[in-house]
Amino acid sequence: MNKNSIFSGITLASFLGCAFALTLLPHEAAAQAMSPMRGQVQSFTDSFALKVFPSNPYDHRIRVEVKVYDQDFNPVEAKVMPAEFTLGGRNSRPVTVMVPFDGANQRKVRVCTESVPFPGIGGKTTTTIKAQICGKFLGERLN
């Protein structure tokens, strides 16, 4: 046996092993999503508006909160409509976000969709995992 045939056999075995392992993964391994994930907006006013679409890839409903942060993940005083809602399985919905410039000509923000665990029996949450996905947006004031 030469080195090339041994290497080919190992490579094929590795590939088949990975393919088999992928079939064992749960089918619910989908990720929460939001679109768009990036954007640039121009405005003539003291604030700029964004429209994002959080989506739920799961078959069950989830509670969602949409929050706005600066580049360092400090909370930003923005108007989010609606800020909290329940999203059915395999659905998405539009959310409008109004971000003030706070005197600057440019503002970079992160708009984040966070899924919140439902309370379980007796008000205790059944899980403490809070999924978060964020998009980056740049607002520019035109004056």
Backbone φ and ψ of 60, nearest 5°: -105, 160
Written as six digits, the tokens of 89 are 């399985």
Break the chain into its structural domains and give their ranges: 33-141
Residue 98 near residue 47, CB atoms below 8 Å:
yes
Distance CA 39, CA 28 (A): 29
Reported as a single tens digit per residue, the pLDDT across 92-141 is 999 999 999 999 999 999 999 998 766 665 566 566 667 899 999 999 99
* Amino acid letter, residue 4: N
The partner residues of 132 in beta bridges, in order of sequence, read 114
CA distance 119 to 47: 36
pLDDT of residue 33: 82
pTM score of the predicted model:
0.72
For domain 33-141, the CATH superfamily is: Immunoglobulins (2.60.40.10)
Summary count for the chain: helices (H), strands (E):
1, 9
Strand partners, 53: 35
Q: What mean pLDDT is predicted for residues 63-80?
A: 96
Residue 54 has what pLDDT? 96
* Pairwise pLDDT comparison (130 vs 25), residue with the higher score: 130
